[in-house]
Structure 1
Amino acid sequence: MRKIKEIIIHCSATREGRDYTVADIDRWHRERGFFCIGYHFVIYRDGSIHVGRSVEEVGAHCKGHNSVSIGVCYIGGLSQDGKPKDTRTPEQKAALKALIEQLKEEYPEATVHGHNEFASKDCPCFDVKEEWGE
């Protein structure tokens, strides 16, 4: 089993109000040369949590951190006009909280981060440190 030190939160960088699936992200990532979806979990707008890449496999979601992290992505992150925005639905917020709590139980030493802490990006388009206090 991999040593998990970080849980990294992402957004799909898609416009608010639009639904996308693990299959869509898998296709986008394959088009970029990945062998499959880079995230381990994807949270749909209805709050359902879907498995992407197996947690046992190294992800492809945050350069320099993939081998020691789990990538969690929520669908959204852009306003209707394409600007960065926290578009999480109440269901996504609740699901993200529950998933992070579950992952922290499984990997108690893991810290929670936004992708923007490691890359010059707006992703996940909300302040993870403020929300998770780490």
Structure 2
Amino acid sequence: MRSINKIIIHCSATPDGRVVSAAEIDKWHRQRGFAMIGYHYVIGLDGSVEKGRDETQVGAHCEGQNSISIGICYIGGLDHNGKPMDTRTTKQISAMHLLIRELKKKYPQATIHGHNEFARKACPCFNVKNEFK
């Protein structure tokens, strides 16, 4: 079993309101040469949580952290002009908090991070440290 010590949150870097599925992200990631979707979970605009990679599999979502982390991606992250923005719906926020609570029960030692803590990106376009103190 993998030793998980981080939960890393991402955004899909898609415009506010655009519906994207885990299957679509899987297609994007395969086009980039990944074996499959890099995230373990995807949170849709309606708050639905889709499974990506199985938690037992190493993710492909954050260079240098994949083997010790679970990757969560919410759909959105850009305004209509393509600028970084917290576009999460209230349902996405609720689903994210519930999913993280469930993951913390499984991996109590895991700390919660935004992708931007490990890469020069705006992703996930909100302050994870402030939200998940």
Q: TM-score range by the shorter chain?
A: over 0.9
Provide the rounded CA distance (Å) in 2 between the counterparts of 1:41 and 1:94.
14
- Following superposition of structure 1 onto structure 2, how do residues 39-50 of structure 1 map, counting pairs within 5 Å? 39-50=39-50
2:60 corresponds to 1:60: yes
CA RMSD of aligned residues (A): 0.3
Q: Deviations over 1:42-93 (max 9, x none)?
A: 0000000010000000000000000000000000000011000000000000
Could you report, residue by residue, the CA deviation over 1:3-53 in whole angstroms, capped at 9, with x for unpaired residues? Answer: 000000000000001100011000000010000000000000000001000
**Partner in structure 2 of residue 132 of structure 1:** 132
Q: Secondary structure at the match of 1:7?
A: strand
Deviation of the 1:115 alpha carbon: 0.2
Tell me the residue number matched to 1:34.
34
Aligned partner letter, 1:2:
R
TM-score normalized with structure 2 length: 0.99
Partner of 1:71: 71
Matches within 5 A, 1:11-26: 11-26=11-26
- Mark the runs of 5 or more structure 1 residues left unpaired by the alignment: none
Large movers: runs of 4+ above 4 Å: none
Count of residues paired in the alignment: 133
Give unpaired runs (5+ residues) of structure 2: none
Aligned identity (percent) is: 62
